[in-house]
Structure 1
Amino acid sequence: MRSTESSLPGAVNAQRDERNPGIDLLRGISILLVVLHHTGLRIPLKHTALAGFLPRGLLDGLNYNGYEAVFVFFVISGFLITGNTLKRWGSLDRIDVKAFYARRFARIVPCLLLLVVVLSELHLLGFDDYVINRAGQSLPRAIIAALGLHLNWYEGHTGYLPGNWDVLWSLSIEEVFYIGFPIVCLLTRRVWVLVPLLVLLALSLPATHAALADNEIWQEKAYLPGMAAIATGVLGALLTARWAAWPPRTIALLGWLGVIGLGAVMLDGSALWHLLHDGYMLVLTWSALCLVLATTRRRARGGWSAMRGLGWLRSFGRLSYEIYLTHMFVVYAIVRLFKAAGSDIGLGYFWYVPAVLVSWLLGMLVARLVSIPSDRALRRMQLKPVVQSERRDLMNVEAVVAGGER
Structure 2
Amino acid sequence: MTAGPSALQPRNAGIDLLRGLSIVLVVLHHLGLRFPLKDGVLADWLPRGVLNALIYNGYEAVFVFFVISGFLITTHVLRRDGGLARLDARGFYVRRATRILPTLTLIVALLAALHLLGVPHHVIDTERQSLGRAVLAVFGLHLNWYEGQTGYLPGGWDVLWSLSIEEAFYVAFPLLCLAVRRERWLMLLLAVFALSLPLTRAALADNAIWQEKAYLPGMAAIAAGVFGALLAARWRAPPRAVVWLLATLSTAMLASTLLFGVLWWRWIGNGYVLVLTLSTMALLVALQFDERRNGAVPVPRGLRWLASMGRLSYEMYLTHMFVVFVTVGIVGAVQGDMRWAVLWYLPAVLASWALGAALAHGFSMPVERALRRRWLAR
Give the TM-score, by structure 2 length.
0.96
* Residue matched to 1:148: 140
Choose 1 or 2 for highest CA Rg. Answer: 1
Unaligned 5+ runs, structure 1: 1-14, 386-406
SS at match of 1:234: helix
Counterparts of 1:3-402 in structure 2, within 5 Å, are 16-302=8-294, 304-385=297-378
- Deviation, 1:249, is 2.3
- Deviation, 1:195, is 1.1
- Deviation, 1:236, is 0.4
- Deviation, 1:273, is 0.5
Report if the CA contact (8 A) 1:330-1:359 is conserved: yes
Report if the CA contact (8 A) 1:258-1:290 is conserved: yes
1:134-171 C-alpha deviation (Å, 9 max, x unpaired): 12100000000001100000000000000000000000
Deviates more, 1:320-329 or 1:333-342: 333-342
- Deviation, 1:16, is 5.0
Q: CA RMSD in A?
A: 1.3
SS at match of 1:134: coil
- Deviation, 1:56, is 2.9
- Deviation, 1:307, is 2.9
Q: What is the distance in 2 between the residues matched to 1:16 and 1:137?
A: 39
1:277-298 C-alpha deviation (Å, 9 max, x unpaired): 0111111101111221122211
Report if the CA contact (8 A) 2:231-2:285 is conserved: no
Give the TM-score, by structure 1 length.
0.89
The size of the alignment, in residue pairs, is 371
Unaligned 5+ runs, structure 2: 1-6
Deviates more, 1:68-77 or 1:297-306: 297-306
Q: What is the distance in 2 between the residues matched to 1:313 and 1:51?
A: 27
Q: What is the distance in 2 between the residues matched to 1:16 and 1:162?
A: 33
SS at match of 2:270: helix
Report if the CA contact (8 A) 1:152-1:172 is conserved: yes
- Deviation, 1:343, is 4.5
1:109-150 C-alpha deviation (Å, 9 max, x unpaired): 001000111111111111111100112100000000001100
Report if the CA contact (8 A) 1:153-1:221 is conserved: yes
SS at match of 2:294: coil
- Deviation, 1:370, is 1.0
One-letter code aligned to 2:359: V
One-letter code aligned to 1:174: E
Q: What is the distance in 2 between the residues matched to 1:22 and 1:343?
A: 41
1:51-75 C-alpha deviation (Å, 9 max, x unpaired): 2223433321221000000000000
1:53-100 C-alpha deviation (Å, 9 max, x unpaired): 234333212210000000000000110111100000001111111111
Report if the CA contact (8 A) 2:335-2:341 is conserved: no
* Residue matched to 2:3: none
1:215-267 C-alpha deviation (Å, 9 max, x unpaired): 00000000000010001001100101111322222211221222211221122
Deviates more, 1:243-252 or 1:21-30: 243-252
Q: Percent same amino acid at aligned positions?
A: 58
Q: What is the distance in 2 between the residues matched to 1:55 and 1:299?
A: 39
1:9-31 C-alpha deviation (Å, 9 max, x unpaired): xxxxxx95421000000000000
- Deviation, 1:305, is 5.0
Q: What is the distance in 2 between the residues matched to 1:197 and 1:205?
A: 13
Q: What is the distance in 1 between the residues matched to 2:161 and 2:344?
A: 27
